[in-house]
Amino acid sequence: MMLVLMSLAVSLVSCIITHWIYKWRNPKCNGNLPPGSMGFPLLGETIQFFAPYRANNISPFITKKMERYGSIFKTNLVGHSLIISTEAEFNHFIFQNEGKLFQCCYPKSFNEIAGRDNLVSAEGSMHKYLRNLVMNLVGNETMRTKLIPKVEKTICKNLQRWCGQASIELKEAVAKMEFGFGAKILLSYSESKSSKNLRQAYADFQHGLISFPLNVPGTAYRKCLQKAVGIIKSILEERRATPETRNEKDFLDLVIEEMKKKGSLMTEEIALDLLFILVFAAFETTSTALTLAVKNVGEHPKVLEELAKEHEAILRNRKNTDQSGITWQEYKSMTFTHMVINETVRLANIVPGIFRKVLKDVEIKGQFQELNSSWIVMVCAPAVHMDPKQYDDPFVFNPWRWQGQELNSGSQTFMGFGGGSRLCAGAEFSKLQMTVFLHYLVTKYRWRVMKGGDITRIPAVMFPNGFHIQILEKNMIPEDAAAT
């Protein structure tokens, strides 16, 4: 009798597990879902998605899915049911229906770390409110009147310090420079004057950014929750408790003023979310793009020649010979530089996916889809940026492909800075920093690669061996060359 009961129990458990696996692999939908596979229960296909691969290529995971299922397919990543779109037309449709059929959405781990009311994930009036605050910091007028000289001063100081050193690891050096500048204009934070290591906290944040949201001691996710937000909060509390009189207000002062206003949307929780994500955005993506720009330009002599030609012409054409800095008009006139930046961003694909939550019934390629709120659509920009139907020789670095094209906004085939109404608020500021850096690099210095430069993606861009270069003044002879 006992054996019979045990057999029945085993059979029942087997049936339950089989049914659970079947439901996992065949999610409920009142319509025809795109083809695809959901992977293993709970884990989905996360491991395959995060498998490292060489840069300047489409993820093997995405490539295999496209070959098997077409340009739009379903899967499951980090615990979320996803429909991944690699089709330019449908991606454009998604961005054009922001707030109607789709809503900005990121994995639970991102929202738990960055805050549910962060600028990236906020919706509607809250997003508009936060975006307007940010534009006070990095809008065109502020950049033109205040930020250009500050950016120049920071870049010139660092290039001068790096010049003549045996070698610098460029990604780390630029990230440190960008972090210091961003933290200063946002929080008046100085790493040398603070006991709080804010930059290390952000390194932990990056490692846990798109992980399973396991709030357990020892995980990168838990470290993010405890360290980074805690440091930002302590800085906010100190400022509110002992306000200082500064000649020039930083962004934190603006946020605190907003918190004091009667009926303001700004709460302490929203302030922390906003400050946290802005500090991260201020350095990580720009430093990666700038490192890739230097690498690409250095590997293409004709591009370097054309870039130097444009910037030397800027210097020659100045009517005021005493002018010491770049003007806004000069910045806007650097057409080839902007082409180099767009091409760098197109190939870089720093953001592997842009996520939108499904709000209403959606028609995909002529088929009606009734998706519930558990479904998320991931716009896969890299697949479009590397599509030979959209770009000739898509894996080749060719800034001239942008000649005569719009350089300052997104399009159906270019989503390097997002798309639609949620185009990155700091896109122009990021371009400004890259432009100023390249201006001084090509007019005053030259560089050579010492070692490294290999790139892998996981899917974020990584330099496993670093990118070590030596920067010299244009008339300086390297010691090893002089010795020969």
Secondary-structure breakdown of the chain: helix, strand, coil percentages, each rounded to the nearest 5: 55, 10, 35
Give the angle 103-107-108 at the CA atoms, nearest 5°.
105
Q: Sign of dihedral through CA atoms 419, 422, 428, 431?
A: negative
**What residues form DSSP beta bridges with 364?**
367
245-250 contacts at long range (C-beta below 8 A, 24 or more positions apart): 246/188, 250/184, 250/185, 250/186, 250/187, 250/188
Instruction: List the one residue out of 305, 317, 328, 310 whose CA is nearest residue 439.
Output: 310
In three-state secondary structure terms, 300 is: coil
Copy the structure tokens of residue 299.
């590997």
Instruction: List the one residue out of 112, 21, 39, 56 whose CA is nearest residue 344.
Output: 56
3-state DSSP of 18-86 = HHHHHHHHCCCCCCCCCCECCCECCCECHHHHCCCEECCCCCHHHHHHHHHHCCEEEEEECCEEEEEEC
Residues 6+ apart with CB under 8 A from 173: 158, 162
Residue 148 main-chain phi, psi, to 5 deg: -55, -50
Pairing of strands 375-379, 80-85: parallel
CA 226 to chain centre: 23
* Angstrom distance (rounded) from CA 8 to CA 97: 52
Instruction: List the one residue out of 168, 163, 135, 467 whose CA is nearest residue 289.
Output: 467
Is 380 annotated to bind a ligand? Reply is no
Whose tokens are 């050096």? That residue is: 173
Residues 6+ apart with CB under 8 A from 281: 426
* Angstrom distance (rounded) from CA 298 to CA 469: 11
Q: Is 468 left (phi over 0), alpha (psi -120 to 50) or beta?
A: beta
**What residues form DSSP beta bridges with 169?**
468
* Angstrom distance (rounded) from CA 203 to CA 228: 9
Q: Binding site for heme, residues?
A: 424
Q: Binding site, residues?
A: 424
